[in-house]
Amino acid sequence: MKPLATLLVAAAALVAGSVFAVTPAQEKAFVDAYRSAFVKKDGKALHALLYTVGADPMAVEMYQMMMAADFGAKLTELRLAELTADDLRRLADSKAPDGRTMVMPLKPVRKLIIKTAQKSANGSSTSSSESFVAEHAGRLVIPVPSAK
């Protein structure tokens, strides 16, 4: 029985390590893909960064809309950041506008911080948003929540 327990512990460690082991190359590829799609105003390429398996259809629509909302603005900051204790609390207490509990299909490992600025004849404005980022099949994605 002891070899089986050792094997299970080793397998669990391997799985846990692969979930949390985001590489600098994965981070760079993700940020570069997001930046390129945003600058080109390529909604299809941005939407390809979403992980929508099992996602709530209204959440998918909202995520897609939010990704393209700042097209035309200048990207002033785009980076991945570590999750904070506050982020983890928000994940645990996520609710849809209609009160349903929402859950992430993949465990987030980072958050994407996006800041934009826009100037016009009427003045200027800035915007900032955050999205959780998870690893799936060796690449980073933005998981869209599902209703619980």
CATH number, domain containing residue 35 = 3.10.450
Element (H, E) at 128: strand 123-136
Q: Is residue 14 part of a domain?
A: no
Per-residue tens of pLDDT for the chain, all 148 residues: 444 433 333 334 344 444 457 999 999 999 999 999 999 999 999 999 999 999 999 999 999 999 999 898 999 999 999 999 999 999 988 888 788 899 999 999 999 999 999 998 899 999 999 999 999 999 999 999 998 8
Instruction: Give me the residue label for tokens 């070899």.
Output: 3
Q: Is residue 8 part of a domain?
A: no
Q: Is residue 7 part of a domain?
A: no
CA distances from 89 to 4, 13, 94, 95 (A): 36, 25, 9, 12
pLDDT score recorded for residue 21 = 76
Structurally, the chain folds into a number of domains equal to 1
Closest CA to 71 of 137, 121, 127, 26: 127
Q: Is residue 125 part of a domain?
A: yes
pLDDT score recorded for residue 20 = 54
Q: Is residue 11 part of a domain?
A: no
Give the residues across from 110 on adjacent strands.
133
**Residue-range definition of the domain harbouring residue 40:** 23-147
